């Protein structure tokens, strides 16, 4: 396999074009198809590191994996009942979201949110869903909704 790397600009250009094409084809429905983006990364890089069932520790574990791979500089979260407010700073893919906004399309997918949702579902057995992405203050602000734990059927 070739060990040569590609530029981040090139990768983000491709990501933008794929996202934009998907949005143009599916509109808001594209959002529900993008929830699995990052699943392989989660299985390989994050899941083996998850030790705790506390949301703060789950977010920190995701943050550590992404930081070590140079994807983000910081992730912080604050839980407010069913709402988890996540702030992502220094994400290498932010230019993609900025281009989406420039094309009058609200950001509709975020791998970092997907990783957090996957981790919550795995460790807490609670459904979760990314509800909103806002670009503010040089960071991405994500709103993740936490649902009640799945019932145990005998």
For 99-123, what is the mean pLDDT? 94
Give the mean pLDDT of the chain.
93
Residue 119 has pLDDT above 70, yes or no: yes
Residue 1 has pLDDT above 90, yes or no: no
Q: Say if CB 89 and CB 147 are below 8 A apart.
A: no
Whose tokens are 């520790």? That residue is 57
Residue range 14-69, pLDDT digits in tens: 999 999 999 999 988 888 889 889 999 999 999 999 999 899 999 999 999 999 99
pTM above 0.85, yes or no: yes
Residue 2 has pLDDT above 70, yes or no: no
Residue range 134-148, pLDDT digits in tens: 999 999 999 999 998
Whose tokens are 């970092």? That residue is 112
Q: Is 20 exposed, middle or buried (0-12, 13-18, 19+ CB in 10 A)?
A: middle
Residue partners of 31: CB distance under 8 A and separation at least 6: 108, 109
Phi-psi sector, 109: left (phi>0), alpha (psi -120 to 50), beta: beta
CATH topology of domain 8-146: Muramoyl-pentapeptide Carboxypeptidase; domain 2 (3.30.1380)
Torsion of CA 71, 143, 22, 44, to 10 degrees: 40
Residue ranges of the domains in the chain?
8-146
Residue 3 has pLDDT above 80, yes or no: no
pLDDT for res 79: 93
């Amino acid at each position: 396999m070739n060990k040569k790397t590609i530029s981040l600009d090139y990768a983000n250009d491709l990501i933008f074009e794929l996202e934009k094409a998907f949005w143009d084809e599916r509109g808001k429905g594209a959002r529900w198809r993008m929830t699995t983006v990052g699943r392989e990364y989660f299985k390989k890089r994050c899941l083996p590191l998850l030790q705790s069932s506390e949301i703060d520790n789950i977010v920190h574990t995701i943050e550590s994996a992404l930081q070590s791979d140079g994807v983000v500089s910081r992730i912080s979260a604050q839980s407010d009942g069913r709402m988890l407010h996540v702030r992502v700073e220094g994400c290498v893919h932010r230019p993609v979201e900025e281009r989406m906004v420039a094309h009058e399309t609200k950001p509709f997918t975020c791998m970092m949110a997907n990783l957090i949702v996957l981790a919550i579902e795995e460790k807490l057995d609670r459904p979760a869903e990314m509800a909103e992405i806002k670009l503010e203050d040089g960071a991405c602000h994500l709103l993740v909704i936490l649902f009640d734990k799945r019932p145990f059927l005998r």
